[in-house]
Amino acid sequence: MDPRLRRKECAVADDDMRPGERAIDWSEVKDASLEFIGEIRTPWMSRAECPRQGMLDGPICEVRVFERWRDALQDIDQFPRLEILYWLHQARRDLVLQCARHDTTPRGTFSLRSPVRPNPIGLSCVSLERREGTTLFVRGLDCLNGTPLLDIKPERALFETPAARIR
C-alpha cells in the first residue's frame, strides 16, 4: 500500500466528530499488504457531492486498471454487472460509534455502510457499459474522483445458480 495514503497523513481533521460519536486509541494502526490495481474517475471532487450509494442510472464513471493487470481483464466483457471494490482513502478509520448523515443517533460502525471504518473498503455493484483497453465504463459508483481501485469481480448473483457453481 502506498504509505502516502495512510490515514494519519490524509486530510482528515481529528476533531471532525459529531456529538455522541466515539473513537478508539489506535496509534498502532498498520497497513495490510494490499495492492492498488487502478484508479477510479468520477465526476465527484468532494465527499459531500458523492451519492450515498451508487445508482445503476447514475453517471458513467471510469474504472482505470493499471497496464500491468491488462490480461486480468480478459473475458470481463461477458458480464453486464460487476462488483467494484475500492479504498475510501480519505476516510478516518478509528470510529467505533458514529452518526449517519442527517442522524443524531450514534450507531456501531459495523451496522453502517459508512466510509468510516477500520478498513475503509467500498463495494458497489455496477453495470458495465463498455470497455476501452484497460478502462471500464460503468454506472453505479459513489466514490470520489481518484479513489484507488482494489478489485473487480463479476456480480455474485451470476455465480449462485447450480450451472454456475463450477466457476
Of 65 and 91, nearer to ligand SAM (C-beta) is: 91
Site for ligand SAM contains 37 (CB under 6 A): no
| 28 φ/ψ sector (left φ>0, alpha ψ -120 to 50, else beta) | alpha
User: By CB under 6 A, which span of 26-34, 55-63, 82-90, 157-165 interacts with ligand SAM?
Assistant: 82-90
Q: Which of 136, 158, 127 is nearest to 58 (CA)?
A: 127
In the complex, least distance from residue 12 CB atom to ligand SAM, rounded to whole angstroms: 9
> Which residue from 17, 138, 147, 149 is in contact with ligand SAM, where contact means CB under 6 A?
147
Stretch that binds ligand SAM, among 29-37, 66-74, 121-129, 158-166 (CB under 6 A): 121-129
Residues 100-119 that bind ligand SAM (CB under 6 A): 113-115
How is 73-130 classified by DSSP, letter by letter? Answer: GTTGGG-SEEEEEEE-TT----EEEEEPTT--SEEEGGGS--S-SSS-EEEEEEEEEE
One of 53, 55, 70, 159 touching ligand SAM (CB under 6 A): 53
Q: Round to whole Å and give the CA distance between 160 and 162.
A: 7
> Per rule CB under 6 A, is residue 143 in the interface with ligand SAM?
yes
- Binding status of residue 149 toward ligand SAM by CB under 6 A: no
- The grid coordinates listed for 57 are 442510472
Contact 28, 106 (CB under 8 A): no
Number of residues that bind ligand SAM (CB under 6 A): 20
Q: Is residue 142 near ligand SAM by the rule CB under 6 A?
A: yes
Q: What cell was used for 101?
A: 448523515
| Residue 47 engages ligand SAM in binding (rule: CB under 6 A) | yes
The CA angle 39-144-23, to the nearest 5 degrees, is: 110
Q: Applying CB under 6 A, which residues contact ligand SAM?
A: 47, 50-54, 88-91, 113-115, 122-124, 142-144, 147
